[in-house]
């Protein structure tokens, strides 16, 4: 059976979605760069092996990346899933795991890479926002896109209400993307990802709806 390692930094709700999805893959370990990440306890409760690599002990980025790669390689995972892993990884690390490193991001990339995506989306007045699962490249929050989910912004939305609706969709699309990967259905061609047997009907999302 194929295996994955999940990297987290905090709450761990996307990690939990991956756990709950009963994927055709073994979760070999959950690794956090922060000792107090709440997701670590959730992983332990589910019986998964956890590891902490405290980023404070590694002021030099390359040293942290090397230590992280050593831990990961011991598990020989097919995929490394970043699930709210809020540390920028260096080029060497990203290239080492090219095509095997996935991330979920709370915006419709390439719009709103980085932090505070929901507040920025509201400030820009976008009518459609969402989330993206993509393969990781050395450019932060960029890389071949596997799946996206769109949500409408609503009158009266706050950062919190919008974030909650987007997070719900993250929990749908991340397990789906990982499942496709494990089933061998993803092919990266340049900056595009072909998903074999995926259903797309060309439908259009209006926000607000047309009357
Ligand atoms: C999620 O919204 C995820 O998309 C985001 O951090 C949150 C982690 O929540 N990741 C990024 O912004 C990556 N650039 P979680 O710990 O509950 O999964």
Residue where the block lists tokens 């999805």: 21
134 is annotated as an active-site residue: no
Are 114 and 194 in a shared domain? yes
What CATH number corresponds to the domain at position 158?
A: 3.40.50.170
Decide whether any atom of ligand 1 lies within 6 Å of the 10 Cβ: yes
| Distances, alpha carbon 67 to alpha carbons 54, 101, 116, 144, in Å | 10, 17, 29, 26
3-class state of residue 22 by DSSP: coil
Question: Contact, 98 vs 143, CB < 8 A?
Answer: no
Residue numbering of the annotated binding site for (6R)-10-formyltetrahydrofolate: 61, 86-89, 103
Which residues pair with residue 80 across a beta bridge?
5, 101
Same domain for 74 and 125, yes or no, is: no
Pick from 77, 118, 103: which is nearest to 177 by CA?
103
Q: Which of residues 97, 113, 136 is at a domain's end?
A: 97
Domain that holds residue 159: 105-211
DSSP state at residue 78: S
Read off the pTM.
Answer: 0.98
| pLDDT tens digits along 15-51 | 999 999 999 999 999 999 999 999 999 999 999 999 9
Whether 131 and 201 share a structural domain: yes
Q: Residues 115, 88: one domain?
A: no
Q: Which of 66, 97, 128 is the last residue of a domain?
A: 97
The answer to whether residues 45 and 26 belong to one domain is yes
The structure tokens listed for 161 are 């209400």
Per-residue pLDDT tens over the stretch 134-165: 999 999 999 999 999 999 999 999 999 999 99
Confidence band, pLDDT 50/70/90 cuts, at residue 169:
very high
Beta strands in the chain (DSSP E): 3-8, 26-32, 50-52, 79-82, 101-105, 128-135, 145-152, 186-189, 192-195
The answer on 85 and 65 residing in a single domain is yes
Dihedrals phi, psi of 148, to nearest 5 degrees: -135, 150
CB of 84 within 6 A of ligand 1: the answer is: yes
Q: Count the domains in the chain.
A: 2
């Amino acid at each position: 059976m194929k295996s994955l390692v999940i990297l987290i930094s905090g709450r761990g709700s996307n990690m939990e979605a991956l756990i709950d999805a009963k994927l055709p893959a073994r979760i070999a370990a959950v690794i956090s760069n922060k000792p107090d990440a709440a997701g670590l306890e959730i992983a332990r409760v589910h019986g998964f092996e956890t590891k902490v690599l405290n980023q404070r002990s590694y002021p030099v980025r390359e040293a942290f990346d090397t230590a992280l790669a050593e831990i990961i390689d011991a598990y020989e995972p097919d995929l490394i899933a970043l699930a709210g892993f809020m540390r920028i990884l260096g080029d060497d690390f990203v290239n080492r795991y090219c095509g095997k490193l996935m991330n979920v991001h709370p915006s419709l990339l390439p719009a709103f890479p980085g932090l505070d995506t929901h507040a920025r989306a509201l400030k820009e007045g976008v009518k459609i926002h969402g989330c993206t699962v993509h393969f990781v490249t050395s450019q932060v929050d960029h890389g071949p896109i596997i799946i996206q989910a769109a949500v409408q912004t609503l009158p009266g939305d706050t950062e919190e209400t919008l974030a909650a609706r987007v997070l719900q969709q993250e929990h749908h699309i991340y397990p789906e993307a990982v499942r496709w990967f494990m089933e061998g259905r993803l092919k990266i061609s340049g900056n595009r990802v072909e998903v074999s047997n995926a259903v797309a009907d060309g439908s259009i999302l209006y926000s607000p709806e047309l009357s």
